[in-house]
Chains A and B, each alone.
Chain A
Amino acid sequence: MNLGQQIMLLYRKDLRVEVRKKESLIAMAFFGALIMVILNLAAGRSGRIEAEQLAGILWVAILFSSVLGLGRVFAREKENGCVAALLVSPLSPEALFTAKALVNFTLMCCSELVLVPVFLALFGGRLEPDPLALTVLLGLVNLGFSAAGTLLSALAAGTRRNEVLLPILLYPLCLPLVILAVKATGAVFGGSALFEILDQLEPMAAFGLIYAVAGYLLFAHAVREV
């Protein structure tokens, strides 16, 4: 099998597990919506919220809920002793990384299909974001977060404190991504079009690429120790 076929095989396997059990996706969407409701209540009824703060609320909800899905992807394999099985199979660790990152990317996209409408319903009375710019932003954050997250969730899964450790390791690395995303999304909520936020989009794409390459190279070392 070539690399592409291996990736598709693993990707379909993980998606099939997710479709049958639905444990990650429901938890992600539910928790994300819960965070937004809490933040809406915490903001008070009279308080006017600025565009950039609204962007912050959206990203807090998305990133905090995504870590639930990221943690499960490896914990599930480990509970069943499947990591060793995957490693002795003729599949390459690089294919494993790419497939897991794609699964995380897909999970984030699916949960955002729920979270963004909920966000607009709760906060977005006055907002008219450019749909194309918002989609590009969501895609770039999903790319960076799932690439870095897949690499680090392999590390976290190898320890005995998986659920505690993953956010501790992942959020510091993703802070620049959050900074850029909040800035750019704030501009989009304020009415900017796609070409006006290129300054922020370029480093976000660079972040995604850096961690996609780093994950591809480093993942094999990490996963052999899980």
Chain B
Amino acid sequence: MLKRYDPFALLALFALPAAAAMVFFYAPLEETMGLVQKIFYFHLGLAAAAFLSFFVACIAGVFYLVRRQRVWDERGAAAIEVGVLFTTLVLLTGSIWGRPIWNTWWTWDPRLTTSLILWFIFTACLILRGAVEQEAKRAVFSAVMAIAGFIDVPVVFLSARLWRSIHPTVIRSEGIALEPAMLATLAACVAAMLILWAALFRLRCGMQRQENTLLDLQQQLSR
């Protein structure tokens, strides 16, 4: 059943304003980009959570196909929904940053292309879920699509690399190119976004479970 107070939701209530406060009052102003650069902290946090949710959707899909337990379908569905939401926000925040810095809303950079294609794949997954009525069929189809979508990622990135990249790489193999204060803010933002992700994910899982329980009751009544 849905709990009134989810621990992650409560935590997110404090973590998100704290992270936002760090972004605006603690992190120093970037020299060349100025105020616009601050969106980067949210952008990276959202991106990390978005990719996490597609990974979770794929794993949940595998577990559902192997074990056929309803709970894995609920987790997969929640991960896809939250993932699509977060990827949308990643694309939006990236565009807002790119407009003043790159002087364009959109460019075919590997990271941008990968995010956009992932957004298309998992939105298609949501559309597929909406098109199937029967629960077992919907679960199998969505699991297959989530797995098929996730294994596309390496090829997508490889193919997108053919285009020239202008995306800044902050985290390289040699280390992280950031001021210590900026790094702390970034870590806080990523952590806050992951907490928010966990809260939303658990909320959607709970709602899916309730929906399924309700459908079960309906079937029992009509019998």
Q: Residues on A close to B: CB < 8 A?
A: 148, 151-152, 155, 158-161, 165, 168-169, 171-173, 175-177, 179-180, 183, 199-200, 203, 206-207, 210-211, 214, 218, 221-222, 224-225
Contacts and interface: CB of A to CB of B under 8 A. Distances in A.
B128 A218 contact: no
Contacts, number: 88
B127 interface: yes
A66 to B, nearest CB: 18
- Main SS class of interface, B: helix
Contacts of A207: 155
A160 B162 CA distance: 38
Given A173-B121, A206-B155, A225-B136, 15 more contacts: A151-B144, A155-B128, A155-B145, A165-B127, A169-B124, A172-B117, A173-B152, A176-B155, A177-B159, A179-B162, A214-B147, A218-B65, A218-B148, A221-B65, A221-B143
Contacts of B152: 173, 176, 210
A190 to B, nearest CB: 15
Contacts of A161: 131
Q: Which 6 A-B pairs have the closest CB atoms?
A: A172-B120, A176-B159, A225-B137, A159-B131, A172-B121, A203-B158
B144 A179 contact: no
B44 interface: no
Contacts of B156: 175-176
- Main SS class of interface, A: helix
A180 B158 CA distance: 9
Bin the interface of chain B by size: 20 to 34
B151 interface: yes
Interface string B92-135: 00000000000000000000010001001100100110011000
Nearest to B159: A176
27 contacts: A151-B144, A152-B148, A155-B141, A155-B144, A155-B145, A159-B132, A161-B131, A165-B128, A171-B120, A172-B117, A172-B120, A172-B121, A172-B124, A175-B156, A176-B155, A176-B158, A179-B113, A180-B162, A199-B162, A207-B155, A210-B155, A218-B144, A218-B147, A221-B65, A221-B140, A224-B140, A225-B137
Contacts of B160: 176, 179
Contacts of B127: 165, 168-169
A151 B136 contact: no
A148 to B, nearest CB: 7
Given A176-B159, A179-B160, A180-B162, A169 B145 contact: yes
A224 B127 CA distance: 21
Contacts of B128: 155, 159, 165, 169
Contacts of B132: 158-159
B149 interface: yes
Contacts of A165: 127-128, 131
B144 A221 contact: yes
Contacts of B143: 221
A214 B150 CA distance: 11
A175 B120 contact: yes
Contacts of A214: 147-148, 151
Contacts of B155: 176-177, 203, 206-207, 210
Contacts of B147: 214, 218
Nearest to A213: B151
Which among A159, A172, A206 has the highest number of chain B CB atoms within 10 Å? A172
Contacts of A171: 120
Contacts of A172: 117, 120-121, 124, 149
B141 A222 contact: yes
Contacts of B149: 172-173
